[in-house]
Amino acid sequence: MTTTPTQAVHWDLHYDIHLGATWSRFMDGLRDRKILANVCPSCDRVFVPPQAYCESCFERTDRWVELPPEGSLEVFTVAWHGFRGGPTPPYAIGGIRLDGASTLLMHWVIGLDFTEPTTLLAQLPAGSRVRAVWAPQRTGQILDIAHFEPDRD
C-alpha cells in the first residue's frame, strides 16, 4: 500500500475585485439596506446576486427590483473546521431563496445548536423561513447583511 504524499502550502492572498456595474449596484443597495435583484426580460427569472446576463437566454438583465429580506432556507452546510481569517467553527452557510428570487443567495445562517449534529436538519428543515440581519455599519459589501437567522414569528 502506498501513501499519498502531501505538501504544505501557504496562501496569504490580498486582492481587489473589480465589481463592475451590476455588482456595484447590488453592493450600493446593501449599504442602504436594500437587496436588489435583476430580471431577465425574456424568461423573467429574478437573479440575486444579480447577473449582467441571463445564462439561459443570453439576454441583458437590466431591469431591477428590490426583494424583501426574508426567504426560505433551501440548503445549508456546516463547517466544522475553520480557516485563518474565517469565523470560528462550527458555523453554517445556507442557500437562501429570497421571496421573489429565482436563484439562491449564499450566506451565513445562525440559530443552529451544533451540540447534537444529528438534529441539525430537524432544527432548520428545507424551506425554513429566514430573514436577513443587517450589519450595524454598512459599507457596500456582502457582509452588510451580517447573516440570516430563523424567522420564527
By CB under 5 A, name the binding residues for Zn ion. Answer: 40, 42-43, 54, 56-57
For Zn ion, the closer of residues 36 and 92 by Cβ is: 36
Whole-number minimum distance, CB 64 to Zn ion, in Å? 15
CA distance 94 to 136: 21
For Zn ion, the closer of residues 56 and 141 by Cβ is: 56
Q: Give the DSSP letter of residue 73.
A: E
Backbone angles phi, psi at 24, to 5 degrees: -60, -45
Whole-number minimum distance, CB 61 to Zn ion, in Å? 8
For Zn ion, the closer of residues 33 and 63 by Cβ is: 63
Q: What's the CA angle centered on 39, arms 49 and 56, to 5 degrees?
A: 85
Cβ within 8 Å of residue 105, ≥6 positions away: 48, 49, 71, 95, 96, 97, 98
Whole-number minimum distance, CB 49 to Zn ion, in Å? 16
Q: Give the DSSP letter of residue 33.
A: T
Whole-number minimum distance, CB 54 to Zn ion, in Å? 3
Distance of CA 13 to the CA centre of its chain: 22
For Zn ion, the closer of residues 102 and 123 by Cβ is: 102
